[in-house]
Amino acid sequence: MLDFLAQTLAGKVPTQTAGKNTHLRWQWWDEGIWALTPHQSVEKTLVLSAGIHGNETAPVEILAQLVDSLLAGELALQWRLLVVLGNPEALRSNQRYQHSDMNRMFGGGWQQFPESIETQRACRLEHALDLFLAQSEETICWHLDMHTAIRSSYHPRFGVLPSRTTPYDEAFLSWLGCAGLQALVFHQSPGGTFTHFSSEHFNALSCTLELGKAQPFGENDLSQFEQTKQALQALLSGETPPAAEGEPLRYKVAQQITRLSDDFVLHMSAKTQNFTAFPKDTLLAEDGDTRYVVKEDIEYVLFPNPHVAVGLRAGLMLREL
């Protein structure tokens, strides 16, 4: 039986690049990119991706288990499905990235970075989505991009949704709650993420799923994400997902902290968790004459990272909806 993850990590073109089973046809498109199509006609398209950052391995292991079940004929697929392991080279080395953060490169942003493995890969992933989605006639199109956070979090499982000009479908948001997400964060401005690319260019309902904290292969406690896995299994096979434990809290981005120079200082400890609350007027960061201060009565920090490259986001501040 084919082993999706092992084959990708081996870095070789598989001896068999297409096949079928009782439920579906599959085709290897590129390294870590597989298309799976049900035999029956369907009206739904789904992109499942993980490993955009190579040290975020729990979602990769979950995705690999799902794909192996599909290839073994254990799940009756109800979507046209594109499966993507984003950065195989970084996965092999257990590094977040080799040269530059690929999740800042989509929507053509890769052209603004020095050429590297990541810029080449971002271009190839855009092309793969274009081939898979641009000619799609399906009425429903979802993209779920699975990550883990660098820091621990008061909400261990949460979703980040790109800005879009039309409202999110409530059925999509409800499913995210069934997948065990405890919070949803709504962006208010464009970004270079994989999910923003699929949302903006193909009108996909897209979400970045943050599942726990980054760990090397073999050190993940996947039982923490069993509800997410069960929801994905149910989604793929058209079954009812597990009931949500509660409605996810909803947050909106209030401001972004950007590292403007080498003088940047983030006034948070390395142990500050995601969704830590800060009261109004708290000084969050300084960069020369630029000061980042809490403007709302309470703001919550997300993705604080003082070590990003100059010009990139060093954190987001949220307010609860």
From the candidates 61, 89, 118, 210, which is the catalytic residue?
A: 210
CA distances from 226 to 164, 223, 231, 235, 295 (A): 30, 5, 9, 14, 38
Measured CA to CA, the distance from residue 241 to residue 229 in angstroms comes to 10
Measured CA to CA, the distance from residue 197 to residue 190 in angstroms comes to 9
Measured CA to CA, the distance from residue 273 to residue 110 in angstroms comes to 30
**95: number of Cβ within 10 Å:** 14
C-beta pairs of 290-294 under 8 Å, 24+ apart in sequence: 290/260, 292/255, 292/257, 292/317
Break the chain down into helix, strand, coil percent, rounded to 5: 25, 30, 45
The number of angstroms, rounded, from the C-alpha of 264 to the middle of its chain's C-alpha atoms is: 27
Contact 285, 315 (CB under 8 A): yes
Listed residue (97, 107, 109, 99) closest to 129, CA to CA:
107
Does the annotation mark 320 as catalytic? Answer: no
Contact 58, 215 (CB under 8 A): yes
Residue 56 annotated in ligand binding: yes
Q: Annotated binding site for Zn(2+): which residue ranges? A: 53, 56, 147
The catalytic site residues sit at 210
Question: Binding site membership: which residues?
Answer: 53, 56, 147
